[in-house]
Each structure stands twice: as C-alpha cells, then as structure tokens.
Amino acid sequence: MVSLPGDSELFEVLAKTVAIGPGAHDRVEVRTPFTGAVLGALPAARAEDVELAVRLARAAQARWAERTSGERAGIFLRFHDLLLRRQEEALDLIQMESGKARGHASEEILDTAIVARYYARRAGRFLRPRRRKGALPLLTYTREFRVPFGVVGFITPWNFPLTLGITDAIAALLAGNAAIVKPDPQASFTVLWAAKLLREAGLPEGVLSIVTGDGAVTGQALVDRADYITFTGSNRVGRTIAARAGERLTGCALELGGKNPLLVLRDADLSKAVEGIARACFVGAGQVCVSTERIYVEQPVFGQFLDAFAARTRRLALGAAFDYSMEVGSLTTAAQIARVEEHVRDAVEKGARVVTGGRRRTDLGPLFFEPTVLTGVREGMRVFTEETFGPVVSVYPVADETEAIERANATDFGLSASIWTGNARKGARIARAIRAGSVNVNEGYSAAWGSIDSPIGGMKESGLRPRHGAEGMLKFTESQTIAVQRLVPIAPSFGMSQAFFVRLMTRLLRILRWTPWLG
Ligand code: NAD
C-alpha cells in the first residue's frame, strides 16, 4: 500500500487553526481513502461556535468592505502566487482527503488560481457604481450600487476540497463580504490549509472563518445565521437549505447534482473522442458533478465506439500514488462505494451487461472500484435515472441526433452535457437544444468549466444561480438604486392641475417612444 507523504503533525496544526468557542468539543475523525489510515480529528463546531464566528465575521466585514477593490485584489493575487509556489503541499492534502489521482487534484490548483486572478482583476469593474437612465430624462440622476450582503455562508462537499471549498468564497470576499465556510469533514484539512495561505497573503483576521463539523449541527447553524447561503452538494440537502432560506427570506445559491449525458455523433473522430470521453467519465473516479454518466451513440458507429471506449477504459491505470503515474484514484467514502456497488448490482440483476470493470479492488485499497462500462441499461434500473457519482457509465445506441437530444433531456437534472462530432457548427447547434447549464463540444467538461468569464451552473433541478463570470460575483451583492431628483418633482408643480400633469406625462412618453437615446 502507498505510504502517506509529509508530516502527520500538519493535521493537528490545521485542526487547531479553527476559530472555535470555549470548552471541549467532540471530534470528527477523518481517514484517507487510499489506506483507511486516520489523518486527524476535527473539532465539531456547535451552534454557539457558529454564532461566535458570525459575530466576529460581522465586525470584520464592516472594515473589509471599506477597503478599495484594488487593496482587496492585491491580497488575492498574492494568494494566487503562493498557491502556485506551494502547490505540492496542497496536492498531497487533496489526494489524502479525496483519494483522487494527482492529475485530477492538479486541476483544483489551476482552477483556484484562475478564479483568484479573474475575480481579483475584474472585481473593480463588476462592482463599480453604474449610471442608469433616470425617471425623467436629464432631471433624475440615477446610479446603481452593489452592496455586499455581509456574512456569506458556504456549505461545501468533499469531492473538490480546494476548488469547491474556497473558490466561491473568493468571489464573495472580493465583493466585500465576510465568508464562513463549513466544509465537508472529508475535505476540511485542505480548506483550512487554503485559509491559512490566505492569511499569509494578507487577508485580515475574521474576514474568512472555517467552521468544521457535520451538516446537521454545524451546517444547519450556519444556514440559520448567514445573510446569504451558498450550498454545493446533493439535491436532498439542497432542498432543505432552500426551504430554510425561504423561511428566513435570505438568498441562496445551489450547485447540485447531475446525470450528465454525452452524445457521440456518427461523424466524430472516434480515436480522439475515446480519450476525451474516458476523461469525462472517470475524472475523480466519477465523483465530479459534471462528469458523464450516460453516453448516447449514433447507431452506425455504436459497435466501433464501444470496442474502442471499453479498450481505453480497461487500460486506465487505477491505483494510489502521490505522483502522476495513476489515471484514476479511489472513491472517497464507504457510503460512495456502497452506492456504486448497489447501482451496478441492481443493473446487472435486471439484465444490464458489464462490458468492462464492475468490481471492487481491495487489492489496491479499501475504496477502489474499477472504471465500469455498462450496456443494456433500461428504465427501472437505478443507474438509468439516479446519479451514481462514481466510475460507472451506461452506453446506449440511438437512431439519430433527434433521439440523442430527446434522451439527453429526459431527466430532471440539467447540469452539464458533452457532444462529440467532426462538425463543430453542428455540435454547437445541437448544444442549444440540450437543457443543461453547460454544454461542451469535443471536450468532456473542462472547456466550459475553464471558460471562467461565462457563468456555469445548473438548469432544472441541478441548481440555482451560477458561479463564474460577473453573475458569480454579483450574486453575493444586493443592488441599491440611488436617484436624485433635480429642479422639478415627479408630480404636478408650479400650480398645474393633476389633469394637466397627466397630459404632460403622456406627451413625454410619446416623445420617448421615438427617441431611443433618451428613454
Ligand atoms: P451532501 O449534500 O451530503 O453534503 C454537502 C455538504 O452539506 C457537506 O458539507 C455536508 O456536511 C453538508 N450538509 C449535510 N446535511 C446538511 C444539513 N442538513 N444542513 C446543512 N448542511 C448539511 O453532498 P455530498 O455527498 O458531499 O456531495 C455529493 C453531491 O454534490 C452530488 O450530488 C454532486 O453531484 C453534488 N455536487 C454538485 C456540484 C455542483 O457544482 N453542481 C459540485 C460538487 C458536488
């Protein structure tokens, strides 16, 4: 079995960086998926600890919001540089917590650096006050301001400890908010490390806090207190958070699950496609919200595609290594591998065929599962509609692109999709017919995800309010309109009657109808 790199005291040091209230705390033990060894124990924050974190954050936020965009940006550009310089530490931590292959972990470093640079550079432009057309041309001077909510809470999952643990908070912080992150216990050490790095980059105390613990107590306490809540995780928990936010009349953003389809059209270059499609399905051992779980292949190339794809999947290097020698890593938790095994067992029992994979690999570590390709999957099997969130993909033949689009859309999810074709224009046209928040043509997921200037999120039940782009920052602010009325009021004045005022306004509206530059 692989030996763990680095200094085991690191986990003790990181656990102590958590700002937490007085008295003894229960501890949540964290194990590495690679070997099952204990990494460390996190304090479980209670409701009163979260209350304290919110109070400190509120005090720190007022001073933070007074800083200029440029001052705030400087801190995040320093964070960007430190992250790239110290990426090996983060890569070890991400791998130890998530069990993913180092190549997949490295995507998190690149992504976090890109987000930090993008929002640091753009924040000033996104947030600056904007002149708006006034109620009465020339007489009403109107400006729109963006005001930070105050304390934004983030509840984050285990599958991308760094990317999902910290990047949304970066956007919120640069918009002038304080942030409190409640990471999944299985991803908390990476988030604590990132928070420590931000302090080193100059982020003032109290502006970002991490509260560790489980969802039901610590997470719920944050949902009950934050001025805005951002949740990334399962639809089940997402619904309860949205309901609570509704009761409190606070805003919330949700990034939820998917059952992402991928279309292989008859004109695709199959040799290139299988490489990219294997990446799309098995990145993070399939525990990626935007990874592919359903492949629809046009009938004329179905057999050829399936043979080539199964052969590539069989050759994927599966195992634990703290270098780049493995292409697929471990599943992250016992619950995940149980779910994956259950989906495969259920499908096979009801008549599906395992083309390759399908087995647990305890010889590699406690939570490894082979990249698995299924055919003959039908309605009634769990894997047909439910998100597996593991290295299992079903391949279906379809008559033509119309059937492929119909079947791709036959789901309550709408997170991500991918289309492989020799004709990029056709791919882009078909993409418009798919109800998913992002669609990649001739790439699995990273073309859209990496296009950070454009928002990315879920349609249908896959989410509310995207991340990235201007929207990914502005959602952490409220608009405030300030209008100054000059010379005359918006009411009858100078002794005019109400009837005269109405006639005057009617005439004004008629003029505005024909003068687009004025109204
Ligand atoms: P989860 O919903 O079980 O947990 C996510 C977070 O919510 C954790 O921090 C957990 O402690 C917390 N939590 C649990 N119950 C809570 C409660 N009652 N109140 C407050 N917080 C609570 O999800 P998971 O299993 O960690 O993640 C897997 C799911 O997340 C998959 O469905 C996946 O598709 C989705 N996901 C979506 C995206 C996206 O960007 N759309 C990204 C990653 C994962």
Atom of ligand 1 nearest to the CA of 415: 41
Q: Give one word for 2, left, alpha or beta, with left for phi > 0 and alpha for psi -120 to 50.
A: beta
Longest CA–CA span in the chain (Å) reads 92
The answer to whether residue 7 scores a pLDDT higher than 90 is no
pLDDT computed for residue 75 by the predictor: 98
Query: Distance between CA 324 and CA 307 in Å, rounded?
Result: 27
pLDDT computed for residue 12 by the predictor: 84
pLDDT computed for residue 341 by the predictor: 98
Please answer whether residues 236 and 254 qualify as being in contact, where contact means their C-beta atoms are separated by less than 8 angstroms: no
Half-sphere exposure of 411 (CA within 13 A, CB side): 30
Mind spelling out the 3-state secondary structure of 396-424?
EEECCHHHHHHHHHCCCCCCEEEEECCCH
Q: Which of 289, 298, 370, 401 is catalytic?
A: 289
pLDDT computed for residue 3 by the predictor: 86
Atom of ligand 1 nearest to the CA of 213: 11
- Residue ID of nearest Cα to ligand 1 atom 34: 257
Q: Which of 107, 108, 255, 461 is catalytic?
A: 255
Interval between CA 452 and ligand 1 midpoint (Å):
22
Please answer whether residues 208 and 14 qualify as being in contact, where contact means their C-beta atoms are separated by less than 8 angstroms: no
The answer to whether residue 439 scores a pLDDT higher than 80 is yes
Interval between CA 231 and ligand 1 midpoint (Å):
7
pLDDT computed for residue 17 by the predictor: 81
Average pLDDT, the chain: 97
pLDDT digits (tens, 9 = 90+) for 474-488: 999 999 999 999 999
Region 130-139: what's the mean pLDDT? 95
pLDDT computed for residue 481 by the predictor: 98
Interval between CA 256 and ligand 1 midpoint (Å):
8
Interval between CA 25 and ligand 1 midpoint (Å):
24
The DSSP 8-state label assigned to residue 479 in this structure reads E
Mind spelling out the 3-state secondary structure of 161-182?
CCHHHHHHHHHHHHCCCEEEEE
pLDDT digits (tens, 9 = 90+) for 45-92: 999 999 999 999 999 999 999 999 999 999 999 999 999 999 999 999
Q: Which residues contact 333 (CB under 8 A, 6 or more apart)?
A: 33, 158, 186, 367
pTM > 0.75: yes or no: yes
Check if 289 is active-site.
yes
pLDDT computed for residue 372 by the predictor: 99
Query: Distance between CA 143 and CA 484 in Å, rounded?
Result: 9
Question: pLDDT-based confidence at 8, cuts 50/70/90?
Answer: confident
Interval between CA 233 and ligand 1 midpoint (Å):
2
pLDDT computed for residue 419 by the predictor: 98
Question: pLDDT-based confidence at 343, cuts 50/70/90?
Answer: very high
- Residue ID of nearest Cα to ligand 1 atom 36: 233
Atom of ligand 1 nearest to the CA of 458: 41
The answer to whether residue 519 scores a pLDDT higher than 80 is no
Residues in contact with ligand 1 (CB, 6 Å cut-off): 155-159, 164, 182-184, 214-216, 219-220, 223, 232-234, 237, 240-241, 255-258, 289, 387, 389, 415, 458, 463
- Residue ID of nearest Cα to ligand 1 atom 15: 215
Interval between CA 255 and ligand 1 midpoint (Å):
9
DSSP string for residues in 432-461: HTS-SSEEEESSSSHHHHH-TTS-B--SGG
The answer to whether residue 366 scores a pLDDT higher than 90 is yes
Check if 255 is active-site.
yes
Interval between CA 234 and ligand 1 midpoint (Å):
4
Q: Which of 107, 288, 289 to mutate to test the pocket of ligand 1 (most atoms within 8 A of CB)?
A: 289
SS3 of the chain: helix, strand, coil, percent, to 5: 45, 20, 35
Q: Which of 256, 291, 331, 468 to mutate to test the pocket of ligand 1 (most atoms within 8 A of CB)?
A: 256
Atom of ligand 1 nearest to the CA of 157: 26
Tell me the sheet residues that pair with 360. Answer: 369
pLDDT digits (tens, 9 = 90+) for 135-192: 999 999 999 999 999 999 999 999 999 999 999 999 999 999 999 999 999 999 999 9
- Residue ID of nearest Cα to ligand 1 atom 16: 215
